[in-house]
Amino acid sequence: MLYYLHKFRFDVWGPLRLFEYQSTRAALAALIAFAVVALMVRPLFYCLRSKIQPQRDDALMGKSVNREKVPTMGGILIFASTIIATLLAARPNVYVYSTLTVFIGMSLVGLFDDLKKVREQKSDGISEKAKWLGLTLSALAGFSILMLSDTARHNICELWIPFWSSPLFGPEASSAIFATDAVPALLLCLLAAGFYWFVTVGCSNAVNLTDGLDGLAAGCALPNILSFGLVAYFSGNFIWSNYFSINSVPGCGELAIFCVALATGVMAFLWYNGEPAEIYMGDVGALGIGGSIGAVAVVSGQPFLLAGTGLIFVAEAGSVILQRQYFKHTKARTGEGKRLFKRAPIHHHYQEKGFRNSKIVLRMWMITAVCCIVALLTLKLR
C-alpha cells in the first residue's frame, strides 16, 4: 500500500519517492511488525492467560517455570504482525498474494488445532486427516494463484538444482509444453503442484515437529526466513540473479519484504519464548511459518536450498519418520517393536540422554546459522 505513495512525490512531497525502493519498504515492514507486536503483546497475554495447552509429557518440557501457567497460541503475534506489515509495505503482486494465502491458510489450520486442544484439554487436536486436508487446501490455493499469471506459471515450472548455472527444466521447455495440447500442460501443472505441495506442507510439518522446546522452532526458523528473504531479493533483481547465475523472477523481490516482516515477528516473539518461556507458539505459529518458508523457497526457484538451511527441520522430521518405520518393521519381524531413538523428534532423544534444554536449543541454533551461511555461499558455486 505504501508503495503507491511514490507516485505523489512531485505533487505532495519529494521524499515520498523512497517508497519505490524495496530496501526502504523492507525497513518499514520491520518497524511496522515490531510496533504491532509491541501494541498487541500485553492485551494478547491477557486474553490467552487461560488458554493453557496440555502437554504430552510435562517432564520433557523443562522444570524452570510452572508450565501449567504458560499460555499457548502466541503465534497469533507473528501472524498479525506479518500480515499487517506485508500488506502495508509490500507491492501487491501474484507472488505476495500466493505466499500470504499459504501463510494465512496454514496458520488458521494451526489455530483450529490449538483451540480444540485448549477447549477439550487434550494433547490431541483436530484429526490428522483434517489437518492434512487443511494444509493441502492451503498449499493448492497458493499454487492456484500462481497459475493465474502467465509469467508466474512458467517460473513455478522451472527446476533449478544446486551447483548448476542453468535450469534442469527451463522456461523454454515449459512454454513449449503449455503451447501444445492440454494433456502435456495438465501433466506439467500436476507435477508442479505436487512438488509445491510437498515442499510447503513438508516444511510446515517439519517446523511444527521442531516446536518442542522453549525457543527452538523460532530460533531455527529465523535464519531460514532471512536466508530466503535474501534469495527472493536476488531472484527479483536482474543484476543479482545474473551475478549468482540463478533464475530471474521479476516481482519476487517483494517477498523479501514479507520475509523481513515475518522475521521481525518471530524475533519479537522469541523475546517471550526463550527459556523460560512466557508463552508458547502453538500450531498457529509453527504451521504458518513453515509453510511460508517453503512457499518462498519454491517461488524464488531454490527449493533444494531448503534441505541445507533447514537441516535441523529435516533431522527433526526425519527422526520421526525413521522412528515410526523402524518400530513397524521390527514389530512385523519379531513381534516386538523397537525404537531407533530414545524418543522422537530428535531433540527429545537428547533430552533423554541427559542434555539440558538450553544446551540443545543453543546448539541447534548454531547449526542452523552455519547451515544457512554455507547454503547461501553455495549460490555462487555454479
pLDDT digits (tens, 9 = 90+) for 109-123: 999 999 988 888 777
By the 8 A CB rule, do 290 and 120 touch? no
* Amino acid, single-letter form, for residue 96: V
Determine, yes or no, domain membership for 371: no
Closest to 365 (Cα-Cα) out of 313, 287, 290: 313
Q: At what angle do helices 171-179 and 182-210 cross, to 10 degrees?
A: 130
Q: What is the mean pLDDT of residues 247-267?
A: 93
Please give the model's pTM, rounded to 2 decimal places: 0.90
Instruction: Name the more confident of 126 and 65.
Output: 126
- In a domain? residue 76: yes
10 or 342: whose pLDDT is higher?
342
The percentage of residues in the chain with a pLDDT greater than 70, rounded to a whole number, is 85
Positive or negative torsion for Cα 200, 203, 208, 211:
negative
Half-sphere exposure of 379 (CA within 13 A, CB side): 28
| 60 or 232: which leads in pLDDT | 232
The structural domain count of the chain equals 1
Residue 251 contacts residue 92 (beta carbons within 8 Å) = no
* Cβ atoms of residues 218 and 266 within 8 Å: yes
pLDDT number for residue 65: 47
- Which of 50-64, 65-79, 257-271, 301-315 shows the lowest per-residue confidence on average (mean pLDDT)? 50-64
- Quickly state the pLDDT bin for 63 (edges 50, 70, 90): very low
Nearest to 168 by CA among 186, 191, 184, 151: 191
pLDDT of 13 higher than 50: yes
296-330 per-position pLDDT tens digit: 999 998 999 999 999 999 999 999 999 999 999 88
Is 67 contained in some domain?
yes
> Would 326 be classed as within a structural domain?
no
| Domain annotation covers residue 357 | no
pLDDT of residue 179 exceeding 80, the answer is: no
36 lies in some domain: yes
User: Is 157 within the bounds of a domain?
Assistant: yes
268 against 187, higher pLDDT: 268
Query: For position 332, what pLDDT does the model report?
Result: 84
Domain that holds residue 177: 2-310
Q: Is residue 319, in this structure, part of any structural domain at all? A: no
Q: Is the pLDDT of residue 183 over 80?
A: no
Supply angle C-alpha 147, 136, 113, rounded to 5. 140
Query: Nearest-5° angle of CA 90, CA 96, CA 98?
Result: 165
What is the average pLDDT value for the chain, to the nearest integer? 86
